[in-house]
Amino acid sequence: MNEYPLILFTSFLILGKMLNSDELKNEPQVVLIPNNTIPVPAPMDCNSPVFWADGQIYMFNSEGFPRRSNGTSLSQLTDTIQCQWDGPPGKTWWIEAVWKDPKTGILYGWYHHEPKNLPCAPRTAPKIGAIISQDNGTTWKDQGFVLENGYPIDTSYDNGFFVGGNGDFHVILDRGKKYFYFLFSNYGGPVSEQGIGLARSSFKNKGQPGTVFKYFNGSWKEGGLGGQVTPIFPTPTGWKGPDTFDCYWGPSIHWNTYLKQYVVVLNRTIRHGWAGDAIYIAYSDDLFHWTAPKPFYRATGEFDWYPLIIGIKKNETDTRCGQEGRLFIRNQSKYSIRFLKDGEKGL
């Protein structure tokens, strides 16, 4: 155990310098460049999605309920308001992904919810729901749940937070604009199904209740509510705990227009309490076949969670980025992130 981190971090890219690693040959690489700190404008405890409208960039930060801010750039986000919705009073919701329809102007969103009425409270089993807004996210209409774990909760879980469930996720529209893909954390059921799962909804159905299907054993026949999962990033230990070693969770994904690939960044636990060693990155051409996750940012504390890459050009978002973007970790960005194709030099 003591020797493992020394091997693990040989591939780190820090302070604008690239360290050699045979494991990264034939894969893209990244350089982290220290930059001015950009804080998120409101409390958050999940992914903080963004979208553009009328020359303004909008960001959602959520901690039990969401707030929205907007401005002319990531570093100029102001006018923070608390979002309103028609969901039941006291129902928690964390907005983790959004997509604005360029034709209708409707803003589609998806949220993480943590039920409070379980027998093991305050531990819970999250669910994922859909919402729709007609006013750029000031007010929302709850559409209902789209992803839920189908196995009974396990009150003997000892990971500190969850006793099952589906949550901590991200959503991206694929390049062919055929499907909305959900990358979500699956915390329940057999260990063979736990890890980062994949689900999708057709472009026509736009991720609404009853239209989301989970990927399992090579097909999309499992319903979003209760279906089985074949994880694209499995875990050898599962989430029961107290040992939660090598568990990936909380993905955020974007299409990289420079690499012409999908890029996902992930949290990874190394012990009880969800403490992490690093932020990890992986690449894919098709959302199904991924490179092995590699660390690229060393955790500086136990709660370096919720990595998110946001493009810095106009109309780039948390699901679309070019060669350079900003890396957000939890509530701030201290680094620019630059992507390099195989064989390219760094700075």
Residues 6+ apart with CB under 8 A from 136: 53, 58, 68, 70, 100, 107
What is the H or E stretch that residue 7 is in?
Answer: helix 4-8
In a domain, residue 48? The reply is: yes
What are the distances in angstroms from CA 33 to CA 7, 50, 259, 336?
23, 22, 19, 5
pLDDT band at 302 (very low <50, low <70, confident <90, very high): low
* pLDDT tens-digit readout, 80-139: 999 999 999 889 999 999 999 999 999 999 999 999 989 899 999 999 999 999 999 999
Cα(262)–Cα(114) distance, integer angstroms: 29
In a domain, residue 119? The reply is: yes
**Whole-model pTM?**
0.92
Cβ 10 vs Cβ 21: under 8 Å: yes
User: What is the domain count for the chain?
Assistant: 1
In a domain, residue 345? The reply is: no
Q: What is the pLDDT of residue 347?
A: 58
Q: What are phi and psi of 76, to 5 degrees?
A: -125, 40
In a domain, residue 15? The reply is: yes
Pairing of strands 13-14, 17-18: antiparallel
* pLDDT tens-digit readout, 223-254: 999 999 999 999 999 999 888 888 999 999 99
Q: What is the pLDDT of residue 242?
A: 84
In a domain, residue 62? The reply is: yes
Q: What is the pLDDT of residue 203?
A: 98
In a domain, residue 211? The reply is: yes
Q: What is the pLDDT of residue 343?
A: 81
Structure token digits, residue 160:
């500190």
Pairing of strands 84-85, 139-147: parallel
> Pick from 67, 60, 153: which is nearest to 115 by CA?
153
Cβ 146 vs Cβ 207: under 8 Å: yes
Q: What is the pLDDT of residue 276?
A: 87
> Pick from 336, 305, 306: which is nearest to 321 by CA?
336
Q: What is the arithmetic mean of pLDDT over 263-278?
A: 88
Q: Is 50 exceeded by the pLDDT of residue 14?
A: no
Q: What is the pLDDT of residue 270?
A: 85
Q: What is the pLDDT of residue 218?
A: 95
Structure token digits, residue 159:
């990971």
Question: What's the burial of 217, exposed, middle or buried (CB within 10 Å: 0-12/13-18/19+)?
Answer: exposed
Structure token digits, residue 91:
């129902």
What is the H or E stretch that residue 200 is in?
Answer: strand 195-202
Q: What is the pLDDT of residue 90?
A: 87
* pLDDT tens-digit readout, 55-82: 999 999 999 999 999 999 999 999 999 9
Q: Is 80 exceeded by the pLDDT of residue 13?
A: no
* pLDDT tens-digit readout, 309-332: 999 999 999 999 999 999 999 899
Q: How many alpha carbons lie under 13 Å from residue 252 in its C-beta half-sphere?
A: 26
* pLDDT tens-digit readout, 18-29: 333 334 457 999
* pLDDT tens-digit readout, 165-224: 999 999 999 999 999 999 999 999 999 999 999 999 999 999 999 999 999 999 999 999
Rg of the Cα trace of the chain? 19
Q: What's CA 125's distance to the chain center, in Å? A: 17
pLDDT band at 344 (very low <50, low <70, confident <90, very high): confident
Q: Which domain holds residue 211?
A: 4-340
Cα(175)–Cα(268) distance, integer angstroms: 27
Q: What is the arithmetic mean of pLDDT over 262-276?
A: 88
Say whether 179 sits in a helix, a strand or coil. strand
Q: Is 60 exceeded by the pLDDT of residue 11?
A: no
pLDDT band at 346 (very low <50, low <70, confident <90, very high): low
Read out DSSP for 75-120? GG-EEEEE-EESSPTT---EEEEEEE-TTT-PEEEEEEE--S-STT
Q: What is the arithmetic mean of pLDDT over 149-171?
A: 95
Q: What is the pLDDT of residue 332?
A: 96
What residues form DSSP beta bridges with 281? 265, 294
In a domain, residue 346? The reply is: no
Q: What's CA 186's distance to the chain center, in Å? A: 13
Cβ 129 vs Cβ 139: under 8 Å: no
In a domain, residue 21? The reply is: yes
| CATH, residue 197 | 2.115.10.20
Q: Is 70 exceeded by the pLDDT of residue 42?
A: yes
